[in-house]
Amino acid sequence: MINTLRLGNRSKNQAVDQKAQFFKINLTTVWLLLLSQVFNIAMVAQELSFWMLATIFLCLAWRVLLIRQPSSKPQRFIFLLLTISGCIAIAITSRQLGLLLAMLHLLCFSYALKALELNSRKDFYQLVVLGLFILATSLIFKQSLLFTGVLALIIVFNFALLLHYFSSAETVSQTLTRCGKMLLQSLPLALVLFVVFPRLAPFWQVPLANSAKTGLSDNVTPGDIANLARSNELAFRVTFNDEKPLYSQLYWRALVLEQYNGTSWLRTKEKKRRAWLDAENSQQYTPQVSGPSLNYQVITQPSFRRWLFGLDIAVVNPQTTAQSVIIERPDFTLQSKDIISQTLSYQVNSFLEAPLDITLTREMKERNLQYPLGSNPRLELEAARLRQLYADNNDLVQAVLGQFRQQQYFYTLKPPTLVENSLDQFYFDTKTGFCVHYASAFTYLMRAAGIPARMVTGYMGGEYNPEGNYYSIYQYEAHAWTEIWLQGFGWKRIDPTAAVDPERVESGFSQQLINEQSSLSDNFFSLSNYKNSKWLNALRLKLSAMDYQWTKWVIGYSSKQQIELLSRWFGQMLPWKTGLLIGLAFVVVMISLWLLQQQKVPVKRLSPWLKLYQKALSLLIGKEVEKPKAMSVSDFVVTVNRSLPNIARNFTLLSDCFIQLEYQNLTEQQQKTQIKAMQIQLKAIKKQI
């Protein structure tokens, strides 16, 4: 029994070794595979850690070495050691990366390692499928028009790799052309399916990616928002349905920070708990508003956070097309029930003239007067001095703003570092800072003077795009301001930045700030860095307008929009109507492709003996024996005799018949005899294989 098992295992191993020996891909296909791996990894490279990119580079470099020196293949224990080390490193860093990025790292790591053990056709197929899966994963992080276009080209390249493996006689350009044509031919059916096929909710929740969080945080220190000035990333877009507000009215409210611990401003724990309860119970706070309103649509980018944006006072339109429940908070901010992991569109009405909290509860008053005593003693003394001089709160506020205007205060994106984020040091010594420096110091000063105050963060302004009639708000436009509560008026916005740099609030960044932002930008290739170039800026606006339409009509195409569109065209949509439309679309596309095929130049019909010979070659391909196009029939017989000795005699006879039929001038009767002989040998080969 033991000997039988050993013989069985030995025969299996020999079969595997023989299969690996027969698996061969030509040099061009190998280089195409390597390039496809580079392109696929590049689409998610921004989400990968430096050590993972270095590991992938090492594996790909080793793959290049294998092309030149096949004997340099890593030994099994080295391969196993590399695999285990990579998995341990991913496990150790998974808490920092988050579940989503940890899974992405594991996927890319296996994709790079798989190229080092390319032993059979199955390995080749697995490698191609892994690459396509990585491309699909990249859409979790970016869905812009430009990114999707590049992604489509790389998908064509991946399918061209697969096609070139089976059609190695074609040139690379011919293979790419064929794949491109097939992709274009599939677009009509894809378009019909996009419009008609029911848009189902995802069956799972995309896990949170820690490093993917962008934009404002609910924990702000004086230097944080200045760091956002380095980013040219888009935060959200806005289209006003009626008249557009003045630039100075574009204060996009996001977070209200009422707690100060001496170094940072935070949302209160009570606010966080209440926001979570409201989100779970879907309870809505309804603000009391009146007067004229502005109606607009906001399309926000994925931020992997919950907060949304709106002008004061923002009320979500109940008719809105939203992919997530939006909660209106008692502090007049908007919040999504779910993490914003994909583009979200919502309609808002804003009442710019409506007051915020005419009455103030004792709890809110106490919360917005608290500050750590002794954390900034000089500011506390300054507040006491100002209170002695000005009994009226409005007069005190104007006195502080007057100091900002008249004294040597400067507004910059590159503020000096403060010792432990000291507001005293900023207000009395450096006098140079960004919006959050001025808002922090002003809010602290108001509280110390007995005026309820809180800090609000969001975005200020926006870039108007005349090509698409909408505003783009970027991360570098992040802003912070103060709200103070006045008797009979409610919460009033006070922006100290307006006293230091009025141009920032009235029309946007000054030329000095634009130059600073360009020098600080973390994306050298972004066209936003080249606004001073007239033609580059015009190109940027046109591309941005195209991307906006893509986001609005394709990425933002929801199930509600689908139902409304189809109901307008076909009346009430029933399941049988949907199925009928999809079936008709499929039939129409297939008939169209068939008609196009008929218009092509007819291909010369193959001879009966050539068809029989090709069938024999197809059987051999299943055994990992493939005839190169340049190899003669006689030479290929030698290869088959060496690789598959059990069918050597039958294949030799079949090949001899084929050579006579193809190259000799036989009579009709002789041809029939030879064809019949080929058929007999082909049947014998089928049985033996």
Strand partners of residue 27: none
CA atoms within 13 A on the CB side of 432: 8
Q: Say whether 495 is catalytic.
A: yes
> Residue 615, Cα to own-chain centre: how many angstroms?
46
- Nearest residue to 194 via CA among 678, 624, 557, 638: 557
Cβ atoms 311, 352 nearer than 8 A: yes
| 238: three-class secondary structure by DSSP | strand
Q: In a 10 Å sphere around its CB, with 0-12 CB exposed, 13-18 middle and 19+ buried, how is residue 412 labelled?
A: middle
**How far is residue 188's CA from residue 462's CA, in Å, rounded to a whole number?**
37
Answer yes or no: 164 catalytic: no
CA dist., res. 423 & res. 418, Å (int) = 8
Q: How far apart are CA 44 and CA 59, in angstroms?
A: 17
Catalytic-labelled residue, pool 479, 501, 547, 657: 479
Active-site pick, 59, 108, 179, 435: 435
- CB atoms under 10 Å from CB of 493, counted, come to 14
Query: 19 near 120, Cβ under 8 Å?
Result: yes
Q: Is the dihedral of CA 169, 171, 172, 175 positive or negative?
A: negative
Residue 350 parent element (H or E)? strand 344-350
Helix axes 435-448, 377-389, angle to 10 degrees: 60
Strands (E), 16-144: none
Using an 8 Å Cβ cutoff, are 398 and 446 in contact? no
- Measure the CA–CA gap between 396 and 399, rounded to whole angstroms: 5
DSSP state of 207: P
Q: First and final CA of the chain: distance in angstroms?
A: 28
**Alpha helices for 462-574 (secondary structure H):** 496-500, 502-506, 511-520, 534-550, 559-570
Q: Is 218 tagged catalytic?
A: no
Which of 495, 501, 547, 657 is flagged as catalytic? 495
SS3 504: helix
| CB of 531 closer than 8 Å to CB of 542 | no
Q: Quickly count: other Cβ atoms within 10 Å of residue 162's Cβ.
A: 21
Which of left, alpha, beta for 461 (phi over 0: left; psi -120 to 50: alpha)?
left
Q: Are 443 and 453 in contact (CB under 8 A)?
A: yes
Give the separation between CA 422 and CA 420, rounded to whole angstroms. Answer: 5
What does the alpha-carbon distance between residue 157 and residue 37 come to, in Å, rounded to a whole number?
A: 10
The contacts of residue 285 (CB under 8 Å, 6+ apart) are 278, 327, 328, 329, 330
Q: How many CB atoms lie within 10 A of CB 472?
A: 21
What totals of helices (H) and strands (E) does the chain contain, helices first?
25, 17
| Residue for token pair 């000089």 | 378
678 contacts 612 by C-beta, under 8 angstroms: yes
User: Which DSSP symbol is given to 420?
Assistant: G
Please count the other Cβ atoms lying within 10 Å of the Cβ belonging to residue 387. 15
Q: What are phi and psi for residue 455, nearest 5 degrees?
A: -105, 140
d(CA 473, CA 239): 11
List the beta strands (DSSP E) in 138-177: none
Please, what's the b/e burial string for 516-528 (b: 16 or more CB within 10 A of its CB; e: otherwise)? bbbeebeeeeebb
Active site residues: 435, 479, 495
